[in-house]
């Protein structure tokens, strides 16, 4: 049977925890210290889980029922209601490249580390450094490499291609990128 606002408001503390059930897994847990907490019991992936909505009176009965409905909707869509949403960190290519360089700089000869950074700053970062790491396409990388090849720096173009791949391989475990190489641009 559904709870009434007065039942929730006047629930008194007892020597042990007890629950006031509202239905569909929602209940109010009343603690011996007098605190009242909204909780939802549900099953996901064959396991019983418990989701806490917060304390009463900060979370009213109506708000708890609304959150229960949202949780049930998430379950119907196949998502776990208690899971934290994945945060996709947005990083520009330049931020990722500088983090990659900083990570490698200690293991490199100082002269080599500075040459590597100069190469990136001269050719790669002006081309797509301010672009979101996930939005850089293979066509962007190819255009940058073709520009370097056009001035006759074939060895530098090969190294820059390697560096871009290494930056992506560094960015994936950080959650900044989804794949090893930039996605292919749509064919025309």
**pLDDT in the model for residue 134:** 87
pLDDT over 80 at 90, yes or no: no
The CATH number of whichever domain residue 67 belongs to comes to 3.30.160.390
SS3 readout for the chain: CCCCHHHHHCCCCCCCCEEEEEECCEEEEECCCCCEEEEEEEEECCEEEEEEEEEECCCCHHHHHHHHHHHHHHHHCCCCCCCCCCCCCCCEHHHHHHHHHHHHHCCCCHHHHHHHHHHHHHHHHHHHCCCEHHHCCHHHHHHHHHHHHHCCCHHHHHHHHHHHHHHHHHHHHHCCCCCCCCCCCCCC
Quote the pLDDT of residue 182: 58
Share of the chain above pLDDT 90, in %: 63
11 and 71: one domain? yes
Asked whether residue 46 is assigned to any structural domain, the reply reads yes
20: pLDDT strictly greater than 60: yes
pLDDT in tens, 173-186: 888 887 655 555 55
Shared domain for 166 and 100, answered yes or no, is: yes
pLDDT tens sequence across 129-161 = 899 988 888 899 999 999 999 999 999 999 999
The mean pLDDT of 23-31, rounded to a whole number, is 93
Is residue 181, in this structure, part of any structural domain at all? no
Please state the pTM of the whole predicted model: 0.52
> pLDDT tier at 81 (50, 70, 90 boundaries)?
confident
Residues 71 and 103 in one domain: no
54 & 125 share domain: no
Indicate whether 61 belongs to any domain: yes
Output the pLDDT for position 188.
42
Domain boundary among 20, 45, 76: 76
Reply yes or no on whether the pLDDT at 16 is more than 60: yes
In a domain, 114, yes or no: yes
Provide mean pLDDT across the span 37-43.
94
Number of separate domains in the chain: 2
Residue 103 lies in a domain: yes
CATH code of the domain in which 145 resides: 1.10.150.130
With cut-offs at 50, 70 and 90, classify the pLDDT of residue 78: confident
In a domain, 110, yes or no: yes
Instruction: Give the domain extent around 107.
Output: 93-174
Residue 89's CB: how many other CB atoms inside 10 A? 11
Asked whether residue 152 is assigned to any structural domain, the reply reads yes
């Amino acid at each position: 049977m559904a709870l009434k606002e007065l039942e929730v408001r006047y629930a008194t503390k007892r020597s042990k925890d007890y629950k006031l059930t509202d239905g569909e897994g929602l209940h109010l847990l009343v603690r011996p210290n007098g605190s009242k907490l909204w909780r939802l019991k549900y099953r996901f992936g064959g396991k019983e889980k418990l989701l806490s909505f917060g304390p009463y009176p900060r979370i009213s009965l109506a708000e708890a029922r609304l959150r229960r409905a949202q949780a049930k909707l998430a379950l119907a869509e196949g998502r776990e209601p208690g899971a934290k949403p994945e945060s996709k960190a947005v990083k520009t290519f330049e931020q990722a490249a500088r983090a990659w360089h900083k990570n490698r700089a200690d293991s490199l000869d100082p002269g080599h580390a500075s040459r590597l950074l100069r190469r990136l700053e001269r050719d790669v970062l002006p081309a797509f450094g301010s672009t979101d790491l996930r939005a850089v396409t293979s066509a962007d990388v190819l255009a940058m490499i073709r520009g370097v090849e056009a001035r006759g720096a074939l060895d530098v173009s090969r190294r820059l291609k390697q560096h871009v791949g290494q930056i992506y391989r560094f960015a994936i475990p950080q959650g900044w990128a989804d794949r090893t190489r930039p996605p292919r641009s749509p064919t025309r």
